[in-house]
Amino acid sequence: MSTLAGKHIVLGLSGGIAAFKSAELCRALVKAGVTVQVVMTEAAEHFMTAVTLQALSGRPVYTSQWDPREANNMAHINLSREADAIVVAPASADFMAKLLHGGADELLSLMCLARPIDKVPLIVAPAMNREMWANPATQRNVAQLKADGIHVLDVGQGDQACGETGDGRMLEAEEILDDLEAFFSPKVLAGKSVLVTAGPTYEAIDPVRGITNLSSGKMGFAIARAARMAGADVTLIAGPVSLETPRGVKRVNVRSAHDMLQAVQAHVPDQGVFVATAAVADWRPANSADQKIKKDGSGQTPQLSFVENPDILATVAQSAAAQTGALFCVGFAAESHDLLAHATAKRLRKGVPLLVGNIGPATFGQDDNALLLVDASGARELPYASKQALAVQLIDDIAARLTR
Ligand code: C5P
């Protein structure tokens, strides 16, 4: 379940072409279980109608501080007191300048000023032309808003409505949703660095053929995302998969087990946690041909021989950092049967404090899974759920182990 479920968010729109993304954001928030109260400035109404946002939020939209629907005629007080957060998206350059100076000449800025600062966080998603964004005045304002405790989200990069290209567009709705989810997630891994391997490896036979393992990478990507939501600095070393990089996660793409080992060794110093979810190929062809091996019609098959790949997890688990407890290593085991017995044996063989078992064929490529957490004192089951929900539970479990 999303950390946003059950929250009440006031979604403020100031004037900007990115207002169309706010309609999507509103819909996504409602889908995540949020009650959304929309407040719009007059400028915002030039870009999007209140009718659309009322329909999407299921609540009448507020556009004026003189709204007679409020018995005490104090919409700015009433709306801000009931909110878990105020999110202004889009936040125009002008609106941010106004926030900075405590301007309050219309409902949205008035409400932001009147909010109880300690209880109701203010999150803004800037949206503007690249020159406006780069202007020292805007950059000064952003720095000061941050210093004032306002959460200023990043801007996107790319084509702008004006035809120019650069920094300043508003993040996409799902990116803002992700940042809001992260904002509300307990920061159980704050200050920690987490390294995750995910996906399969690919071992080339020749330039067009190779051997690989069944692995979508979904579990590892979900763990990287959950670790970032929990406040960690996350590096994800990914084998060949076609998954989007979780927001805020550094990704390093690799192909073979050998590449993966090198990338892990380059990044593992200074990490506090290593989670090896990758399905690393156990063997690679002893010789990879430079040119495509041709079928000559004789019925002869190529004679392949294999060599064993390095065991990345076992190698890291034997390092001084892991042995002294500075690095906490977590292994995964994809089994087809006898999960507890195999996972228990694998934990000892790999030399890791925690090994997570799952039934491989049941979960390959799926969005759901069930996990068995095996440590020195026994096993704990995380029952069938989405990989993202399981990842959050696993990260919580790991964080608790770090503080023991
Ligand atoms: O031995 P097996 O492949 O089942 O072990 C699975 C665990 O070991 C996973 O955590 C996987 O990422 C890791 N592993 C590894 N390097 C290998 C083989 C497995 O890091 N060569």
Span 42-77, pLDDT tens digits? 999 999 999 999 999 999 999 999 999 999 999 999
Beta bridge partners of 36: 9
Query: What's the whole-number mean pLDDT along residues 128-141?
Result: 97
What is residue 350's predicted lDDT score, i.e. its pLDDT? 96
Kindly report the protein residue whose alpha carbon is nearest to atom 2 of ligand 1: 333
The beta-carbon contacts of 360-366 under 8 Å, at least 24 apart in sequence, are: 360/214, 360/334, 360/335, 360/336, 361/336, 363/219, 363/334, 364/214, 364/215, 364/216, 364/334, 365/214, 365/216, 365/218, 366/216, 366/218
Q: What percent of the chain has pLDDT over 70?
A: 100
Question: What single-letter amino acid sits at 246?
Answer: P
Residue 367 has pLDDT above 80, yes or no: yes
Query: What's the whole-number mean pLDDT along residues 297-318?
Result: 95
**Ligand 1 pocket mutation, candidates 211, 212, 280, criterion most atoms within 8 A of CB:** 280
Q: Summarize pLDDT for 213-241 with one digit per residue, the tens.
A: 989 999 999 999 999 999 999 999 999 99
Question: What single-letter amino acid sits at 118?
Answer: D
Averaged confidence pLDDT in the chain: 96
The gap from C-alpha 404 to its chain's centroid, in whole angstroms, comes to 26
Q: Which fold has domain 193-288+305-402?
A: Rossmann fold (3.40.50)
The two three-digit tokens of residue 307, written as one number: 């060599």
Q: Which CATH class is domain 8-184?
A: alpha beta
- The region that residue 278 occupies, defined by phi over 0 for left and psi between -120 and 50 for alpha, beta otherwise, is beta
What is residue 320's predicted lDDT score, i.e. its pLDDT? 95
Q: Give me ligand 1 centre to Cα 278, in Å.
A: 7
What is residue 360's predicted lDDT score, i.e. its pLDDT? 81
What is residue 359's predicted lDDT score, i.e. its pLDDT? 87
What is residue 283's predicted lDDT score, i.e. its pLDDT? 97
> What is the Cα–Cα distance from 11 to 38, expressed in whole angstroms?
5
| pLDDT range class, residue 152, cuts 50, 70, 90 | very high
| pLDDT range class, residue 403, cuts 50, 70, 90 | confident
| pLDDT range class, residue 203, cuts 50, 70, 90 | very high
Residue 363 has pLDDT above 90, yes or no: no
**What residue ranges of the chain are covered by domains with CATH 3.40.50.10300?**
193-288+305-402
Q: Which of 221, 215, 187 has its CA nearest to residue 202?
A: 215
Active site residue 162: yes
> What is the Cα–Cα distance from 373 to 344, expressed in whole angstroms?
10
Q: Give me ligand 1 centre to Cα 337, in Å.
A: 17
| pLDDT range class, residue 245, cuts 50, 70, 90 | very high
The two three-digit tokens of residue 334, written as one number: 């994809």
Query: What's the whole-number mean pLDDT along residues 100-123?
Result: 97
What is residue 103's predicted lDDT score, i.e. its pLDDT? 96
Q: Which ligand 1 atom is at minimum distance from the Cα of 282? A: 21
| pLDDT range class, residue 179, cuts 50, 70, 90 | very high
Residue 1 has pLDDT above 80, yes or no: no
CB 353 within 8 A of CB 375: yes
**What residue ranges of the chain are covered by domains with CATH 3.40.50.1950?**
8-184
Pocket of ligand 1 contains residue 219 by CB under 6 Å: no
Pocket of ligand 1 contains residue 223 by CB under 6 Å: no
> What is the Cα–Cα distance from 91 to 98, expressed in whole angstroms?
10
Q: Angle at the Cα of 347 (from 342 to 350), degrees rounded to 5?
A: 115
> What is the Cα–Cα distance from 219 to 340, expressed in whole angstroms?
19
| pLDDT range class, residue 184, cuts 50, 70, 90 | very high
Pocket of ligand 1 contains residue 331 by CB under 6 Å: yes
Q: Which of 128, 115, 114 has its CA nearest to residue 14?
A: 128
Kindly report the protein residue whose alpha carbon is nearest to atom 17 of ligand 1: 311
Q: Summarize pLDDT for 262-303 with one digit per residue, the tens.
A: 999 999 999 999 999 999 999 999 999 999 999 989 999 999
**Ligand 1 pocket mutation, candidates 265, 344, 350, 358, criterion most atoms within 8 A of CB:** 350
